[in-house]
A and B are shown apart, each in its own frame.
Chain A
């Protein structure tokens, strides 16, 4: 298949205006190129492309471009990779070695992709950010950064050592050894997050008073009684949980907590249909990756596809990106939003405040998780954190397993008490007043 891939383009490359392509062979080859570049082109994509090329014979390069793009892509964020692959194939970025072979040789059907010459793999990556390269490849050999699932055996072990577990419950994630971190992640995986309910548009039958008469069900029921509507069926709105959105800071300053928090995110995505985003210099939606793979691999692949990963944290900017690209379109409306960040950011605090104000107007509840709030004498002097405070419903430390339990309570609560509970590190934030270490500041 690899042999097939670049041949038609190589053939066509000199004819700039009107690439000569044989639909079936070209489609198969081009799709293979895209898949190698990491695009999730579906298996029948090649067939559909071939079909489209018959309906619309590519008389010009642009026709071919649009046809391929329209048929094969399924999301805007695939565009950069697609464009890179397309121009690599057509704009002479091919490895010259490609043309050494006999262009008329029959394609080696079934030849394995692994037989291709090594440099060709770079086709897709060449126009991307250097970091993009590993992520741009086929997802199959995804870097297994984390341990390959320690498995249930280890979990059993944890359960046997109650005292150890108690220690794990209360120790800050930052103070745990790598091994303990893994154990805590097993615990965290068991935390189930749920959000308060709200009324949905769907109805269910009910016998309660005050419900609406459901004509549809009543008439259906009447069929059984000779069209005599004896049984009046009422219905009322179903309730469904609010959407849960988690935004997790993965910058260097959060590093000790990131791995555990990602596990929390993963559990939320799987268990509560949450939407998960990570941010540092830029914002990345991680829901999909977390749903299908190991949290570490998801983060690694996200890091690979984000160019500015290594830069400083841009809190305000990331929240802006979240609101502009996702939040205002519906994701954040009426949702419970959890921000996990220490608030250390490069942005101007005014930007953070402005974006938090926008988020406040969209969201039902905003809970901030800042592990640094447990430090003795913590004051939210960090610009970003201080700017965000007035817009929060609650701030919680979330630094240990027990503290994450409080977070779960805050997310679940139908209504937040304005008084914080004693003896915890939780503070609700009724006023833009800096919360202290967490004992009853509202009192």
Chain B
């Protein structure tokens, strides 16, 4: 197929008279060419598929206009997560700012573990949630998000001024990984900011 016919078929009237030159093989070894082609193919395949940007969905709440849309949640359902400017994560449960603790984003041992624990703990130990369950059965009906806010852990994400955007994405990623359904992004209270800046020490506990 790839051979070039060198027998001189179209040579006109020349007959085999003179000393015939030795036939050279014109077969070219195409193996390196194929190698190269496949190398390039793999390069293009990898670069085209891996370069696609991905996106994370973020739904922000509408402003609550109607007072009756607001609902009470139990203090014990709430986990406060604070992100500071040094990529550290601080957290405390409920209103106990004094119990502020520091952790990181590092894998299973960091904030993920804290959130997981909270999600497991809330349905068992939280009195509000237990009461809700007594009234509404075992929480099988998942009709709307408000019903869920009655019985699941709620994570309040609070970012200090100057925290990096990366940390916001990281914590939202953790929400996705731990399958935490209810979370909100808020501003940090002054007392929380102060507590974080003091390395977790709350000087005076004044919060209504």
Partners in one complex: no
